[in-house]
């Protein structure tokens, strides 16, 4: 009873907002959302969702906090940067202090074909806080396959754009951009244009507003438009979103679209388990969820433990081209690659120190080292590495070969021969 | 000037951007890549040294049939027999420089707002620089003028104008989209290991936009010129608005229009009269006279 009163008090101003009301607030409490990326957009989106009172927030990010993030990534502070905490971890810690109402699941991982399905498996809505076109197209495929609304958002310079894409109602992102887009081909990013914080917050606010409408059952209030905004030369434009493209395997009249319309028919406000909404028991279930720390979701199973390692190795062994492994990350001079084989952080620490690197950060999630030449190597516990400050891909590959490849280890293990 | 000045890719020297490589080596690479006008900019060297550098560069540019412009100093330009001089807003006035250099040498001037551009045109400049479009290390502390000024210059200025300042391969499209048809870069060319290929890539982008324009018959084209164009009476041409600008096109579909703007293979969202058109449907989406099209580059950051 006391809990209920607290709940009432906590969300009183939001409940007083007529379109949400008590029922909308309850729906938010039942809702599960996935926020992909915990950079500028993602961290802001996660905060909006947790403060608004969503029942479960799943947050996944592949990066760690750096000083250059702080001008726009409002959830992080200097301490996070000094500790080089993974963004997902730092965000989860902050968000748990903001509210103990939400169950927060944080994953340090790069979203790819192997884990995207399980990450989105049991959520009502996906919020896009990614920094690249390829991941966005992947999210679109997964969301349209599963009938989950996707709130796209992107920002660069002082400009941003956003749209809530509803499977069965709108066409998918792939249809909007062209099915065979390689992704990231010249689409402006924070890397090329820089970015200012107000532009990020405008887009995140618009994304969050659509998410709140969707999650509280205010479907008729959804904009249904593709919106662009410029925070500097103030301008807002919007265009109506097109319906599904019949021929498209993702948003067209195939399997997925049928699944999507089934979903929609079932949940007026996109929130699953609507049957439970009226049930008194549901509050208890939610409480149990909050207290339970055991991995329940498919996503946690897929991302933790031995399974994921085995999967990682499988994928890597089929991927022989070094160049293909390199991915350029947004906002900084950063390359990403997967290491083989999986080695513990402690072992990496030993190897890099032996190779003459200075260890500049060392926590349970990652290891950061500075090469003799001054570039930075970051290794995450899951076997993913970032190479920063290399300038060109060629140099990044050199660093990989010199410090991170199997050859390095063999050389290091060989008895040294005097010259 | 015996023939009207024109160029596409303006390259400026920046020795501090390529330590370990000589100016001649770097500039020759840029010329091989298609740079068609070169400026010697050196704020450090004493004049005697500058003249020597200018003479060496002149030899090189002459080999490629490309004009050499000297930054700031008409006297150095004359001494080295360079083709012209480039002035800043605080340097010698254009009229004074013209008196020194005579009618045949090129005079260009940097402008940072439309009033300066108009004044330069009136004073008889052969071209103007428009920038810095983006913040740049070459001119630290100078406020970037953004592509808005590029668009203004494109709409109003009749003498050649070259967009300059922080322009790189990755933002060149944006500058061209704003209406520039000549680009200038310093660090993005001479600061790279391979200036030749950077130049080639930039030129390719410039050409793509220039070609896209040639496909459209401008409404203002004088009749005598229009008559020399191939007969196209059977081809329908419509007036429309593309990204806020009045245009005419013979494109019958959204796909053809996108092709004219060289948007194939780019992450672009197309909007026609208030609604987004899925990419697959561009080919079957006809364009009506008076319609309004917006091509919006997909924003990738987050």
Task: Give pLDDT < 70 ranges for chain A.
Answer: 1, 179-187, 191, 253-332, 341, 406-419
Q: Do A133 and B267 touch (CB under 8 A)?
A: yes
Residue B254, pLDDT > 80, answer: yes
List chain B residues with CB under 8 Å of A227. Answer: none
Distance of CA B141 to the CA centre of its chain: 23
Query: What pLDDT, on a 0 to 100 scale, did the predictor assign at position A308?
Result: 34
Residue B208, pLDDT > 80, answer: yes
Q: Which residues pair with B162 in a beta bridge?
A: B129
ipTM for the complex? Answer: 0.74
Q: Do A186 and B266 touch (CB under 8 A)?
A: yes
Name the average pLDDT for chain B: 86
In a domain, A135, yes or no: yes
Find tokens 């990989």 and name the residue.
A400
Residues A282 and A320 in one domain: no
Query: What pLDDT, on a 0 to 100 scale, did the predictor assign at position B110?
Result: 95
Find tokens 């003459």 and name the residue.
A356
Residues B24-77 have pLDDT tens digits of 999 999 999 999 999 999 988 999 999 999 999 999 999 888 999 999 999 999
CA dist., res. A73 & res. A43, Å (int) = 7
In a domain, A121, yes or no: yes
Q: What is the secondary structure of A214-272 as a DSSP string?
A: HHTT-GGG---EEEEEETTTTEEEEEEPPPPPTT-TTTSSSHHHHHHHHHHHH-TTS-S
Q: How many helices (H) and strands (E) does chain B have?
A: 11, 13
In a domain, A145, yes or no: yes
In a domain, A216, yes or no: yes
In chain B, the domains with their CATH numbers are 9-213 (3.20.20.70), 223-297 (3.10.20.30)
Residues A274 and A376 in one domain: no
List chain A residues with CB under 8 Å of B302. Answer: 37, 39-42, 128-132, 153-155, 190, 330
Residues B8-33 have pLDDT tens digits of 999 999 998 888 889 999 999 999 99
Q: What would you report as the CA-atom Rg of chain A, rounded to the nearest whole angstrom?
A: 22
CA dist., res. A292 & res. A283, Å (int) = 14
Domain boundary among A257, A280, A303: A303
Residue B126, pLDDT > 70, answer: yes
List chain B residues with CB under 8 Å of A237. Answer: 294
Find tokens 């679109």 and name the residue.
A140
Do residues A386 and A375 touch, judged by C-beta distance below 8 A? no
* H/E stretch holding B163: strand B161-163
CA dist., res. A331 & res. A262, Å (int) = 40
Query: What pLDDT, on a 0 to 100 scale, did the predictor assign at position A333?
Result: 76
Report how many domains make up chain A.
2
Domain boundary among A259, A278, A303: A303
Q: Can you give the CATH number for the domain in which A146 is found?
A: 3.40.50.720
- B216 pLDDT band, cuts 50/70/90, is very low
Residues A31 and A110 in one domain: yes
Residues A187 and A268 in one domain: yes
How far CA A151 is from CA of A102, A137, B193, in Å, comes to 20, 12, 41
Residue B158, pLDDT > 60, answer: yes
How far CA A34 is from CA of A57, A106, A172, B137, B156, in Å, comes to 6, 10, 18, 41, 50
Query: What pLDDT, on a 0 to 100 scale, did the predictor assign at position A158?
Result: 93
Residues A106 and A197 in one domain: yes
Query: What pLDDT, on a 0 to 100 scale, did the predictor assign at position B220?
Result: 36
Do residues B15 and B25 touch, judged by C-beta distance below 8 A? no
Residue of chain B whose Cα is closest to the Cα of A170: B278
Query: What percent of chain B shows pLDDT beyond 70?
Result: 89
Q: Can you give the CATH number for the domain in which A320 is found?
A: 3.30.310
Query: What pLDDT, on a 0 to 100 scale, did the predictor assign at position A309?
Result: 32
SS (H, E, C) B68-97: EEEECCHHHHHHCCCCEEEECCCCCCHHHH
Global pTM reads 0.61
Pairing mode, strands B9-12 and B161-163? unpaired
Q: Which residues pair with A33 in a beta bridge?
A: A57, A125
Q: Does A150 touch chain B (CB under 8 A)?
A: no
Q: Which residues pair with B240 in a beta bridge?
A: B247
The parent domain of residue A26 ranges over: 2-303
Residues A126 and A259 in one domain: yes
List chain B residues with CB under 8 Å of A186. Answer: 170, 173, 266-267, 297
Residue of chain B whose Cα is closest to the Cα of A226: B276
Residues A42 and A69 in one domain: yes
* H/E stretch holding A345: helix A345-354
Residues A106 and A193 in one domain: yes
The b/e string for B160-175 (b: 16+ C-beta within 10 A; e otherwise) is: bbbbbbbbbbebbbbb
Residues A40 and A80 in one domain: yes
Residues B93-115 have pLDDT tens digits of 999 999 999 888 999 999 999 99
Residue B165, pLDDT > 70, answer: yes
Write the CB contacts of A204 (distance below 8 Å, at least 6 apart in sequence): A40, A41, A44, A45, A48, A129, A153
In a domain, A37, yes or no: yes
Do residues B171 and A190 touch, judged by C-beta distance below 8 A? no
Query: What pLDDT, on a 0 to 100 scale, did the predictor assign at position B138?
Result: 67
Residues B280-294 have pLDDT tens digits of 899 999 998 899 999
Do residues B292 and B262 touch, judged by C-beta distance below 8 A? no
Q: Does A393 touch chain B (CB under 8 A)?
A: no
CA dist., res. A194 & res. A192, Å (int) = 6
In a domain, A419, yes or no: no
Structure tokens at B66: 């490309």
Residues A281 and A362 in one domain: no
- For residues A182, A186, A191 and A195, what is the CA-based torsion angle, rounded to 10 degrees? -110
CA dist., res. A177 & res. B282, Å (int) = 11
Structure tokens at B196: 């030749």
User: Which position among B8, B139, B181, B205 bears the catalytic label?
Assistant: B139
Residues A281 and A320 in one domain: no
Residues A34 and A6 in one domain: yes
- For residues B238, B244, B245 and B246, what is the CA-based torsion angle, rounded to 10 degrees? 30
Q: Do A186 and B280 touch (CB under 8 A)?
A: no
Task: Give A97: exposed, middle or buried? Use CB within 10 Å, 0-12, 13-18, 19+.
Answer: exposed
Residue B24, SS3 per DSSP: helix
Query: What pLDDT, on a 0 to 100 scale, did the predictor assign at position A260?
Result: 54
Residue A293, SS3 per DSSP: coil
Domain boundary among A253, A269, A303: A303
The b/e string for B265-280 (b: 16+ C-beta within 10 A; e otherwise) is: ebbbbbbbeeebbbbb
């Amino acid at each position: 009873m006391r809990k209920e009163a607290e709940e009432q008090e906590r969300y009183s101003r939001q409940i007083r907002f007529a379109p949400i009301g008590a029922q909308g607030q309850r729906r938010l409490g039942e809702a599960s959302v996935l926020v992909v990326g915990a950079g500028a957009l993602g961290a802001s989106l996660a905060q909006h969702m947790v403060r608004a009172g969503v029942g479960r927030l799943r947050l996944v990010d592949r990066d760690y906090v750096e000083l250059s993030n702080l001008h726009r990534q409002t959830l992080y502070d200097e301490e996070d940067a000094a500790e080089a905490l993974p963004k997902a971890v730092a965000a989860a810690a902050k968000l748990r202090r903001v509210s103990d109402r939400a169950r927060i699941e944080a994953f340090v991982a790069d979203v790819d074909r192997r884990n995207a399905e399980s990450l989105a498996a049991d959520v009502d809505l996906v919020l896009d806080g990614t920094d690249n076109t390829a991941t966005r197209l992947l999210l679109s495929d997964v969301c349209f396959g599963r009938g989950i609304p996707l709130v796209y958002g992107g920002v660069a310079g002082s400009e941003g754009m956003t749209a809530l894409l509803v499977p069965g109602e709108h066409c998918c992102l792939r249809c909007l951009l062209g099915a065979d887009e390689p992704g990231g081909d010249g689409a402006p990013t924070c890397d090329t244009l820089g970015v200012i914080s107000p532009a990020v917050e405008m887009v995140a606010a618009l994304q969050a507003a659509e998410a709140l409408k969707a999650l509280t059952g205010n479907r008729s209030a959804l904009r249904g438009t593709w919106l662009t905004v410029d925070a500097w030369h103030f301008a807002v434009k919007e265009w109506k979103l097109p319906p599904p493209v019949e021929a498209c395997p993702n948003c067209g009249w195939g399997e997925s679209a049928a699944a999507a319309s089934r979903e929609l028919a079932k949940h007026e406000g996109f929130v699953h388990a609507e049957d439970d909404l009226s049930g008194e028991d549901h509050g208890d279930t939610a409480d149990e969820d909050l207290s339970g720390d055991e991995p329940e979701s498919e996503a946690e199973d897929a991302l933790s433990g031995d399974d994921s390692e085995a999967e990682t190795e499988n994928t890597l062994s089929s991927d022989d081209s070094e160049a293909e492994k390199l991915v350029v990350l947004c906002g900084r001079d950063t390359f990403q690659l997967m290491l083989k084989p999986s080695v513990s952080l402690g072992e990496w620490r030993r190897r890099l120190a032996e190779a003459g690197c200075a260890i500049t950060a060392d926590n349970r999630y990652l290891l950061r080292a500075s090469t003799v030449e001054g570039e930075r190597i970051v290794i995450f516990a899951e076997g993913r590495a970032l190479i920063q400050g290399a300038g060109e891909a060629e140099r990044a590959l050199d660093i990989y070969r010199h410090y991170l490849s199997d050859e390095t280890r063999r050389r290091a293990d060989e008895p040294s021969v005097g010259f | 000037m015996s023939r009207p000045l024109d160029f596409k890719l303006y390259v400026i020297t920046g020795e501090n951007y390529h330590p370990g490589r000589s100016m001649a080596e770097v500039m020759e690479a840029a010329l091989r890549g298609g740079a068609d006008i070169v400026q010697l900019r050196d704020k450090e060297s004493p004049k005697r040294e500058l003249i020597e550098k200018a003479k060496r560069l002149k030899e090189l540019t002459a080999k490629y049939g490309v004009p050499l412009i000297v930054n700031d100093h008409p006297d150095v330009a004359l001494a080295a027999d360079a083709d012209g001089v480039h002035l800043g807003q605080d340097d010698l006035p254009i009229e004074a420089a013209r008196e020194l250099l005579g009618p045949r040498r090129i005079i260009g001037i940097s402008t940072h707002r439309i009033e300066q551009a108009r004044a330069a045109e009136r004073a008889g400049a052969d071209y103007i620089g428009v920038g810095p479009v983006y913040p740049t290390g070459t001119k630290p502390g100078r406020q970037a003028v953004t592509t808005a000024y590029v668009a203004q210059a494109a709409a109003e200025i009749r003498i050649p104008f070259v967009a300059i300042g922080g322009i790189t391969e990755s933002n060149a499209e944006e500058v061209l989209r704003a209406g520039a048809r000549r680009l200038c870069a310093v660090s993005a060319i001479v600061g790279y290991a391979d200036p030749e290929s950077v130049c080639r890539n930039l030129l390719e982008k410039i050409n793509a936009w220039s070609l896209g324009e040639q496909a459209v018959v401008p409404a203002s084209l004088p009749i005598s010129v229009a008559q020399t164009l191939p007969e196209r009476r059977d081809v329908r041409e419509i007036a429309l608005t593309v990204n806020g600008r009045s245009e005419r096109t013979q494109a019958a579909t959204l796909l053809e229009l996108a092709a004219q703007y060289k948007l194939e293979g780019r992450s672009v969202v197309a909007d026609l009269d208030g609604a987004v058109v899925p990419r697959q449907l561009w080919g079957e989406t006809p364009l009506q006279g008076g319609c309004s099209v917006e091509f919006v580059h997909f924003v990738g950051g987050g």
